[in-house]
Amino acid sequence: MLAYPEGVIELKSPNEIQQMRPAGKFVGDVLTALKEKAAVGVNLLELDELAHQMIREAGATSCYIDYHPSFGASPFGKVLCTSVNDAVLHGLPHDYTLQDGDLVSVDFAVALNGWVADSARSFVVGTPRPQDLRLIEATEVALTAGIEAAKVGGKLGDISWAIGEVAHEYGYSVNLDFGGHGVGRTMHGDPHVPNDGRKGRGLKLKAGLVIAIEPWFLETTDEIYTDPDGWTLRSQDGSRGAHSEHTVAITPDGPLILTARD
């Protein structure tokens, strides 16, 4: 494992990136299963239990259940983030039954064989509203743009700029409090990857850098607040949010999506 000169950001060898693939595939498979399970009448706790069961069967370890950063009120206690409608990040699964038209964002991260993968997707349960589909589309287009900018020789700001340009084209503002991050043996590491920025600025992108790229947008604001549960982040004005994320390795042959879904 190599590192940047400052010794803070670790670069993975080609062999280590290959070792990360099983974790990435597992995370992608779980998110696919969760989307298939989610339906009108399904409880968020049922989704969390399905993910928990799959974790146990795979011999993986949840990155969330004992997670207790400074911004969290207590250890998270669940294995999924399930954010519904005006919730967009860190949604703590609770006793809520999905309703027709709910916009659901699911974020999932595990360690498998010592390596972490992290990914998120948004979808609508039941009858979709056109504006929700547009919001989800914007995060997915921004994710694709950010991944395409993750090239050896580029700058970290290229990724942020690409994401931000898509947001602005769709008419959304961007919150910079939370964004992408380094991934490896732990879920969150350097560098931080903002969802807006200046092209050609910041860290030089090198082969072996593995990052989670995760655009998330709110429909009519970029202001958020923390729910009384101490975790769930909601829009200040009640507008809906969407979130898309992949774990990506930067390689000499271009970006490699480790959490690609079938």
Query: Annotated binding site for a divalent metal cation, which residues?
Result: 107, 118, 181, 214, 245
Question: What is the distance between the terminal CA atoms of the chain, rounded to a whole angstrom?
Answer: 30
Binding-site residue numbers are 90, 107, 118, 181, 188, 214, 245
How are the residues of the chain apportioned to helix, strand and coil, as percentages rounded to the nearest 5? 30, 25, 45
SS3 of 101-152: the string is CCEEEEEEEEEECCEEEEEEEEEECCCCCHHHHHHHHHHHHHHHHHHHCCCC
Local structure of residue 65 (DSSP, 8 states): T
Tokens of 92: 């703590």
SS3 for 53?
helix
Q: Provide the annotated binding site for substrate.
A: 90, 188
d(CA 95, CA 90): 16
**Tokens 């056109």 label which residue?**
130
Distance CA 213, CA 210 (A): 10
The interaxial angle of helices 14-37 and 44-58, nearest 10 deg, is 140
